[in-house]
Chain A
Amino acid sequence: MSERVRQAQVGIVGGGPAGMAAASALAARGRSVVVLDEGQRAGGQIFRQLPPGVAPPAGVSEPPSHDHGHELIDAFEGAQVELVSGATVWDSKPGRLWFEHAGESHLLECERILLAPGAMDRCIPFPGWTLPGVTTAGALQVMVRGFGVKPGRRALVVGSGPLLLPTVTALLAAGVEVVAALEASSRWNALRALPGVIGNGARLREAMWYMKQLVRAGVKLRWGWTVLRCEGDRHVERAVIAKVDGQGRPRLGTERTIEVDVVGAGFGLVPAIELGLLLGCDSRHLAARGGHCLVVDEQQRTTIDGVFAAGEIGGIGGAEVASAEGALAAAAIDHSLGGPAVSEPLVKQARAERRASDAMLRAFAPLPGLYQLANDDTIVCRCEDVPLSEARAAAELHGRSSRAIKVGCRAGMGPCQARICGPSLQQLATADPACEMDVPVVRVPVKPVRASTIVNAPG
């Protein structure tokens, strides 16, 4: 792309299920659409595609939900939509999205903005989590499904939530031995999700597919287990795992040591709401949906005029919620531009998907005991290298707010802008997992970009 300022009726941030569904639907209604996506190809994190020329080994199958992913991608690629891959959006005002692309500074002027940036893995610090070879669960999926790279020989998958299963199957597809797959939530908690899953054919088929893959590979998903620490010299070499109680607190005497060379840890997902906050949109804290979520109404409108949001940004819900909300947002945006009224089935579909997802997430409610895994020396802010002891001292001396903790020990002041430490920093620093969570503080640039990008920003 050459012009540094371009116009479209609708600017969409994110090329995952929500962004793709919305873009295709808007294009079908004759709207001009530009999608800004940070990845290399459409699909988002959930439907990552291998680059052209790379093929998985024969015999590797995909879960049933990926049929839906292929449909979304095919429709999106066949639509009259401009996709800008590798675009980092760093500032926004209603009607304007500033982004960096190939080292250049660009501006998209649009009548409507749709925020569909997705989510990221929730990190809960434990001793040894900074060792190379210890990554998020999502990182391993990207490695295998996005690049055809084999993460290691022997893996531990640990955390909580439905995304542990695709992480296990990705590793199996890459020929990695999954030594242990540990879900911190208890089997008892899992039963709470059962009615919601059984009542939803697609979700039941999906769960059955994963279970079949695990059984075939001889991998047992252990409920009520987690990691206590990872050890190694310059790379992870072993992990100590243990049973946890219903609150996620480790049970003494159940420790076991396993030899691993790669660890994927994912304690659920956190909605990526920064751009919405920057635009002035209201948020609310919904622990069951991953933390701070953007407030949207029954037509995916945020509290700021002309700004819509769909998918994980309004609360963790998965790909089915995201695509249903994307389609709904497209209809609402079209209507706001003079198109026909939003049809009731679209609203109902999005609501039904949310209900199904909320029901499933009941199995993976946040466990306060997991915040006891870190010890005094465990790094909580990886950018600024701040150990838990310093974060605790800062909270005691300066106060329990995220701002006070930040001022006291620099935690959250690095380039990730507290995206990694923020979702657990207050719980850890105050030693109170039930503490009230501050809304993240956002600043421009919302993602670090080159100084020249900011200086040369058009408009």
Chain B
Amino acid sequence: MSDNRSSMGRFGSDEREAVTFSFDGQEIAARNGDTVAMALWAVGEATLRRSSREGRPRGVLCNMGICYECLVLVDGVAVRACTTVVRAGMKVERGGTPGE
């Protein structure tokens, strides 16, 4: 199920190379230098994990590496989406409970 929202996107001009990665099996077009969190936000994906006890949607809170709310799995390893720079072919999945 996608939470895709068309109002999120990019502005200004962007001449960077395109980089493609997968998010829960879906192909995402990013730009070289994007973090996982920003690449996903730019295509309208704001839900990055589910909360530990109630399974509620969570996403970017601080966007600067402090809060760990944006934990996702990159190639099976839990990382912060807001500090992880995208690589071509990276396999990203929605995260679960932090600390697991």
Query: Does A pair with B?
Result: yes
Q: Which residue of the partner chain A has the closest CB to B52?
A: A385
B65 to chain A, nearest CB (A): 6
Interface residues of B in 1-24 (CB under 8 A from A): 3, 5, 7-16
Q: Is A124 an interface residue (CB 8 A)?
A: no
Does A43 belong to the interface (CB within 8 Å)?
no
| Distance of A55 Cα from B68 Cα, bound (Å) | 29
Contacts of A419 in B (CB 8 A): 66-67
- Give A residues with C-beta under 8 Å from B: 38-40, 45, 50-57, 86, 88, 120-121, 123, 130-133, 135-136, 138-140, 142-144, 147-154, 173-175, 234-235, 261-262, 379, 382-385, 414-416, 419-420, 447-448, 450
Residues from chain A with a CB closer than 8 A to the CB of B16 are 51-54
Assess the B61–A420 pair: CB atoms within 8 A.
yes
Cross-chain contact B61 with A382 (CB below 8 angstroms): yes
Residue of A nearest to B40 (CB): A149
| Cα separation A172 to B11 with both chains bound (whole Å) | 11
Q: Which parts of B22-76 form the interface with A (CB within 8 Å)?
A: 31-35, 38, 41-42, 46-48, 51-54, 56-69, 71
Q: DSSP majority for the A interface?
A: loop
The answer for the CA separation of A132 and B5 in the assembled complex, in Å, is 11
A238 to chain B, nearest CB (A): 14
- A-B CB contact pairs (8 Å), 28 listed: A40-B33, A40-B85, A52-B16, A53-B33, A54-B13, A54-B31, A55-B14, A57-B12, A130-B58, A132-B46, A135-B59, A135-B61, A135-B63, A136-B62, A147-B35, A148-B10, A149-B9, A150-B7, A151-B8, A234-B47, A235-B47, A261-B7, A379-B51, A382-B69, A414-B98, A416-B66, A420-B61, A447-B65
Say whether B9 contacts A150, CB under 8 Å: yes
Q: Is the CB of A142 within 8 A of B63?
A: yes
Contacts A57-B12, A150-B42, A419-B66 supplied; 5 other A-B pairs, CB < 8 Å: A130-B56, A135-B60, A151-B41, A261-B7, A385-B54
* Bound-complex Cα distance A140 to B8 (A): 12
Whether the Cβ atoms of A235 and B3 lie closer than 8 Å is yes
A53 to B62, alpha carbons, bound, how many Å?
Answer: 25
Is there contact, CB below 8 Å, between B14 and A415? no
Q: Across the interface, do B5 and A261 meet the contact criterion of CB distance under 8 Å?
A: yes
- Give A51 Cβ to nearest chain B Cβ, in Å: 4
